[in-house]
């Protein structure tokens, strides 16, 4: 875990041009006095994102438009104050965590859906728009926004761009980068420029693709054009119930082996099922070793025909039961359980550490066995709820941060899980990003030459490294734990 403190390295210069008071005053002149938060008590909520990392910003600024973002960025560049963009704070790799000498630009006020073009099937939004709000709005026009992270009800489009967010339905439709047409961005010196266009393909280098997934280190997107898809004629959702994880993994390979690419193919193990059912009845049998949630979309005849093949594949690989959602309400209930699974883990432990690794589908079963071994070795319960169709694992290591040494133990176990994924031919992250969480594991996959080339690409956008510094690349810097503060709602 990374916890920034006042000894952490920052871009050279600091507030050389101004004192702190003068700097805050200038921020207030740009966005308004009420739109700058700087009192320590008010900043506590901005110390966290969805990861276990933390870092208190010097201030948080709430701009209203691109012009204000540009002026804030130019001021910070002049004062050598690091900047971090912040959407909803749902990220899981420490991407929105600030350096203590830095500020956050939060996009709470930039939350408008500016345009929905039904004929050309695209929308233009501001970065603070919530993912589900865009999808809900698009459905009024017979369209939808396909990328659907599990945090869909809370996460914002700007953060989705930064992390190249995925989601269950990205198996068939691709991640965020496959749905971004163009964007207006602000560079670290305040320059405003545009990447991509409203056309699906543009000549020259694909800078919109380079920017998407750059984890906020290249610049800040202030206006985003995304493509929308037509609503499918038919949707059918299956719940395959299995005695254990291994047979469920076999079923995943069998479904894909039939040449079927479902819209979504999710796996939930026994521990996760118990957590979900503790919170609400999602329809998952509590005695199951694992369940598969499979969704098909398309023309009615196609869905019906493919559904028969899916059912056969599930029965052939040892399913004890196969259910098909009979109505929209039942389908929504099944998905509510899947998308609420992480929050439901709070019924089992006060904290979880989610590891986001990717492995080839054929390696799912052996890797999950090794992940379980890591849990036994460290005496850490591990719940698994993940995108099985594309091999994107999400082992959730359960712990209580109030216990002495718990954070150190859990991060060591998480590093071992990532090493297992890489050794199986996988990757460090599928959708959550590297951020602070995995930067020291980058050498497992990349050489120094590889990372030097990546830094050169970053430097082409942000030569001063003043935007989200200290993320992605290993620096060997170890931070001292901050004084313990009780988790809200938990005893000290």
The two tokens of residue 359 are: 């492995």
3-state SS of 39-105 is: CHHHHHHHCECCCCCECCCCEEECCCCHHHHHHHHHHHHHHCCCEEEECCCCCCCCCCCCCCCCEEE
Both 118 and 226 in a single domain? yes
Residue 172: inside a domain, yes or no? yes
Q: What is the pLDDT of residues 129-157, one digit of tens each?
A: 999 999 999 999 999 999 999 999 999 99
Q: What is the pLDDT of residues 327-379, one digit of tens each?
A: 999 999 999 999 999 999 999 999 999 999 999 999 999 999 999 999 999 99
Sheet holding 220-227, edge to edge: 113-117, 122-125, 220-227, 180-186, 192-196
Average pLDDT of every residue of the chain:
92
pTM of the model: 0.92
Please name every residue paired with 471 in a beta bridge, in sequence order, or none if there are none: none
* pLDDT-wise least confident of 6-15, 203-212, 254-263: 6-15
- Residue that finishes a domain, picked among 340, 369, 390: 340
The CATH number covering residue 264 comes to 3.30.70.2190
Both 386 and 324 in a single domain? no
- Residue that finishes a domain, picked among 433, 449, 484: 433
Both 312 and 295 in a single domain? yes
| Res 489 pLDDT > 60 | no
**How far is it, in rounded angstroms, from Cα 246 to Cα 249?**
5
Q: What is the pLDDT of residues 184-214, one digit of tens each?
A: 999 999 999 999 987 777 788 999 999 999 9
Q: What is the pLDDT of residue 99?
A: 85
**How far is it, in rounded angstroms, from Cα 409 to Cα 353?**
11
The CATH number covering residue 183 comes to 3.30.465.10
Tokens 């718990």 label which residue?
Answer: 406
User: How close are the terminal C-alpha atoms of the chain, in Å?
Assistant: 21
Domains of the chain: total: 3
Both 279 and 170 in a single domain? no
The CATH number covering residue 390 comes to 3.30.70.2740
Could you tell me the residue range of the domain that residue 318 belongs to?
A: 234-340
**Which H helix or E strand runs over 116?**
strand 113-117
Say which residues have a Cβ less than 8 Å from residue 474's Cβ, sequence separation at least 6. Answer: 439, 440, 441, 442, 443, 451
Closest CA to 126 of 37, 36, 170, 186: 186
**How far is it, in rounded angstroms, from Cα 214 to Cα 216?**
6
Residue 476: inside a domain, yes or no? no
Cβ-based neighbour number of residue 344 at 10 Å: 21
**How far is it, in rounded angstroms, from Cα 90 to Cα 170?**
19
| pLDDT band at residue 484 using 50, 70 and 90 as cut-offs | very low
| pLDDT band at residue 14 using 50, 70 and 90 as cut-offs | low
Residue 10: inside a domain, yes or no? no
**How far is it, in rounded angstroms, from Cα 373 to Cα 239?**
28
Q: What is the dihedral of CA 355, 360, 365, 370, to 10 degrees?
A: -50
Q: What are phi and psi of 469, to 5 degrees?
A: -70, 155
């Amino acid at each position: 875990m990374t916890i920034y403190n006042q000894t952490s390295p920052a871009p050279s210069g600091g507030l050389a041009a101004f004192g702190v008071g003068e700097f805050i005053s200038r921020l207030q002149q740009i966005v308004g006095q009420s739109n700058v938060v700087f009192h320590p008590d008010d900043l506590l909520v901005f110390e966290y994102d969805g990861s276990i990392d933390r870092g208190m910003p010097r201030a948080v600024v709430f701009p209203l438009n691109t012009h204000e973002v540009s002026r804030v960025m130019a001021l910070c560049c002049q004062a050598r104050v690091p900047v971090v963009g912040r959407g909803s704070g749902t990220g899981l790799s420490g991407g929105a965590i600030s350096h203590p000498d830095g500020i956050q630009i939060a996009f709470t006020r930039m939350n408008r859906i500016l345009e929905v073009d039904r004929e050309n099937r695209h929308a233009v939004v501001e970065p603070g728009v919530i993912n589900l709000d865009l999808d809900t709005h698009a459905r009024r026009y017979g369209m939808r926004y396909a990328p659907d992270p599990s945090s869909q009800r809370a996460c914002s489009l700007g953060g989705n761009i930064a992390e190249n967010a995925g989601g269950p339905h990205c198996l068939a439709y691709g991640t965020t980068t496959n749905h971004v047409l163009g964007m207006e961005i602000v560079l670290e010196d305040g320059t405003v420029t545009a990447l991509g266009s409203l056309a699906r393909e543009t000549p020259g280098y694909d800078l919109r693709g380079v920017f998407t997934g750059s984890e906020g280190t290249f610049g800040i997107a202030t206006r985003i054009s995304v493509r929308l898809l037509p609503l499918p004629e038919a949707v059918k959702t299956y719940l395959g119930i299995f005695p254990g994880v291994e047979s469920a993994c076999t079923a995943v390979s069998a479904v894909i082996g039939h040449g079927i690419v479902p819209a979504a193919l999710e796996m939930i193990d026994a521990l996760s099922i118990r957590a979900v059912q503790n919170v609400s009845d999602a329809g998952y049998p509590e005695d199951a070793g694992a369940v598969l949630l499979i969704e098909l979309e398309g023309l009615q005849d196609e869905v019906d025909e493919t559904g028969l093949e899916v059912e056969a594949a599930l029965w052939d690989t040892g399913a004890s039961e196969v259910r098909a959602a009979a109505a929209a309400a039942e389908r929504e209930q099944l998905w509510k359980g899947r998308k609420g699974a992480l929050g439901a883990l709070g019924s089992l432990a006060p904290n979880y550490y989610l590891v986001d690794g990717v492995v080839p589908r054929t390696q799912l079963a052996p890797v999950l066995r090794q992940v379980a071994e890591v849990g036994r070795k460290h005496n850490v319960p591990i719940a698994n709820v993940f995108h099985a169709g594309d091999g994107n694992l999400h082992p959730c290591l359960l712990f209580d941060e109030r216990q002495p040494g718990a954070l150190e133990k859990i991060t060591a176990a998480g590093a071992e899980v990532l090493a297992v994924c890489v050794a199986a031919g996988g990757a460090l992250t599928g959708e959550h990003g590297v951020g602070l969480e995995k930067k020291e594991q980058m050498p497992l996959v990349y050489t120094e030459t590889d990372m030097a080339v990546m830094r050169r690409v970053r430097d082409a956008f942000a030569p001063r490294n003043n935007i989200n510094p200290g993320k992605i690349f290993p620096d060997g810097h170890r931070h001292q734990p901050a004084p313990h503060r009780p988790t809200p709602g938990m005893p000290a």
